Amino acid sequence: MNKNLILAGFATLIASNASAITLKEGLDIVFNENPSLQSVKNELKVKEQEKKQAVSGFMPDVEAKYSLEDQNINLEGAPSGDASPSTGSVSLTQPLFTGGATLAGFKAAKYNEQAAESNYKLQQQNIFQSAASSYLSVMTAQEVLEFNTRQVATNTEEMKRIRQRFELGDITLPNLKEFEARLSGYIAEKEAAYGNLLAAKSSFITIFGRSADDLDWPKLQPQLPMSLEESLNLAKSNNPDVLQQKVLLKASKENINVARAGFMPTVAAVAAWSNNSNNFGATDTNVTSIGVQASLPLFKGGETTAKYKQSTYQKMQAEDALTQKIRDIEAQASNAYNDVQVQAQRVKALKVRLDSFRITTDAVEKQEEAGEASIIDVLDARDDEFSAKVDLQVAKQAFVLAKLELLASVGKFTYNDIDSIFNTAVIQETEVLMPVPVAEPVEAY
């Protein structure tokens, strides 16, 4: 009795610690805790500090120095003496002209920070897509395992009736062995489905840092592009990967200005004050100076020219990278838009297929009871229905992921977009299956 109470209490404790995680809550966990995303976020902070360093180039440099010594002086033929000389100075240097290097360096740092922000959003989308795929994979694996479990349970019970009928001579030995072989296959498929579920849960822990307990199929209400043209336009103007390449191109142009400044003179205003006191009994000395310093580079062994040419080639590389990135994103947006349309129609067709197979299975079972069909015909009908269930479940997962892929291609699957994507209101099944009307024929990009 005590053992049963302990086990019951332990089960209650586990149940109380396990809480359902919706996909929206899971993405929030990933955003705040995923190590890979936190690393990218820290890179953004690094770029912020680099911009602050660039700002310091406009500011004056102020430096203070002070030294104090304790000396004992012994001169031959003269009395010894003590001295404590001290020296203090303050200097100020204000850059006046740097050939445009300071301003260009600041702009380049600002663009690099913007590129880091775009990369942060890009990595959010990438990790969110992986998280959504992992989340839905667990749910699909659970559903498939339940399908397999029910299939095994149903046919195991049916096997008892088949053996009785065989003993009565109502079923032939080949049909009995066929049924046994099918049942063994169902059991093997069930074990494989269980293995797939364990693998999916392991992947879930890697991304979310939590166990996959009591998940809930997501209810999505995203605002998807209504046409292929709208998808392409949004992708080119809003995709963070494209935005990152655009600002990197701007930064490369400013780097050319930084390199060009190497040919220019530099001018700075300087001011200084110094004090020397108690220097072997001498009178304190105060010196104040104000002036302008200028320098002109004459020869650096070709280093300045090489840096300028290097920055020019880097700008050309950035232009080519942007052109290629736009092409890649256009293709990605086109494929994603078309995939949403295809998956929506596929889910609808598979629902009709499943409904038809259910009717067929029911009819064949009744025919078998009436002696108009064999038990093998029943197994074939049940297999078709089972395959239709699995195909529909996999298609639903693919449809949800297709919508999220389309959102990511147009730059609308970041953390700031989560509230608009996930609607907690109850959504009718027809709305879930067709959030976007097929506004135009599906065409290849």
Nearest in space to 31 (alpha carbons), one of 364, 414, 439: 414
Is 165 or 256 the better-scoring residue by pLDDT?
256
Asked if 20 contacts 215 with a C-beta cutoff of 8 angstroms, the reply is yes
Reply yes or no on whether the pLDDT at 109 is more than 90. Answer: yes
What pLDDT score was predicted for residue 140? 94
HSE-up of 396 (CA within 13 Å, CB side)?
21
Band (pLDDT 50/70/90 cuts) for residue 176 is confident
What pLDDT score was predicted for residue 262? 92
Distance of CA 78 to the CA centre of its chain: 82
Task: Give backbone dihedrals phi and psi of 260, rounded to 5 degrees, phi first.
Answer: -65, -30
What mean pLDDT comes out for the span 166-195?
Answer: 89
- Strand, coil or helix: what is 276? strand
Of 164-173, 218-227, 275-284, 316-325, minimum mean pLDDT range: 275-284
What pLDDT score was predicted for residue 8? 45
Task: Return the exposure string of 342-372: e unless at least 16 CB atoms fall within 10 Å of the residue's CB, then b.
Answer: ebbebbeebbebbeebeebbeebbeebeeee
Can you give the residue ranges of every domain in the chain? 24-433
Of 78-82, 230-234, 402-406, minimum mean pLDDT range: 78-82
What pLDDT score was predicted for residue 366? 92
**What are 3-9's contacts with CB under 8 Å, separation 24+?**
none
| Residue 85 in tokens | 């000389």
Round the average pLDDT of the chain to a whole number and report it.
86
- Strand, coil or helix: what is 228? helix
What mean pLDDT comes out for the span 217-224?
Answer: 87
Q: Which range has the top average pLDDT, 11-25, 376-390, 419-433?
A: 376-390
Residues 6 or more apart in contact with residue 62 via CB below 8 angstroms: 90, 91, 92
Of 114-118, 352-356, 430-434, minimum mean pLDDT range: 430-434
Amino acid identity of residue 151, one-letter, is: Q
Q: Summarize pLDDT for 246-303 with one digit per residue, the tens.
A: 999 999 999 999 999 999 999 999 999 998 876 555 667 888 999 999 999 998 889 9
What pLDDT score was predicted for residue 441? 39
| Residue 30 in tokens | 């990933």
Q: Which range has the top average pLDDT, 29-38, 78-87, 164-173?
A: 29-38
- In angstroms, rounded to a whole number, what is the distance separating the alpha carbons of residues 348 and 72? 100
**What are 48-57's contacts with CB under 8 Å, separation 24+?**
48/113, 50/109, 50/112, 50/113, 51/106, 51/109, 51/110, 51/112, 51/113, 53/109, 54/102, 54/105, 54/106, 54/108, 54/109, 54/110, 55/106, 57/95, 57/98, 57/101, 57/102, 57/105, 57/106
What pLDDT score was predicted for residue 10? 38
- In angstroms, rounded to a whole number, what is the distance separating the alpha carbons of residues 363 and 262? 87
What pLDDT score was predicted for residue 78? 65
Q: What CATH number was assigned to the domain covering residues 24-433?
A: 1.20.1600.10
Instruction: Kindly list the distances between the CA atom of residue 62 and the CA atoms of 65, 91, 96, in Å, as whole numbers in the listed order.
Output: 10, 6, 15
Question: Which residue reads 């302990």 in tokens?
Answer: 6
Distance of CA 343 to the CA centre of its chain: 24
Reply yes or no on whether the pLDDT at 7 is more than 50. Answer: no
| Residue 66 in tokens | 């002070």
Reply yes or no on whether the pLDDT at 444 is more than 90. Answer: no
Quick one: DSSP state of residue 416? G
What angle (nearest 5°) sits at the alpha carbon of residue 268, between those of residues 267 and 270? Answer: 150
The pTM score is: 0.80
Reply yes or no on whether the pLDDT at 69 is more than 60. Answer: yes
Reply yes or no on whether the pLDDT at 138 is more than 60. Answer: yes
89: region left, alpha or beta (phi > 0 left; psi from -120 to 50 alpha): beta
Helix (H) / strand (E) element for 84: namely none
SS (H, E, C) 161-225: HHHHHHHCCCCCHHHHHHHHHHHHHHHHHHHHHHHHHHHHHHHHHHHHCCCCCCECCCCECCCCC
What mean pLDDT comes out for the span 34-52?
Answer: 92
User: Cα torsion at 52, 56, 62, 63 (round to 10°)?
Assistant: 60
Distance of CA 195 to the CA centre of its chain: 27
Question: What share of the chain has pLDDT > 90, as a percent?
Answer: 66
Asked if 311 contacts 258 with a C-beta cutoff of 8 angstroms, the reply is yes
Band (pLDDT 50/70/90 cuts) for residue 81 is low
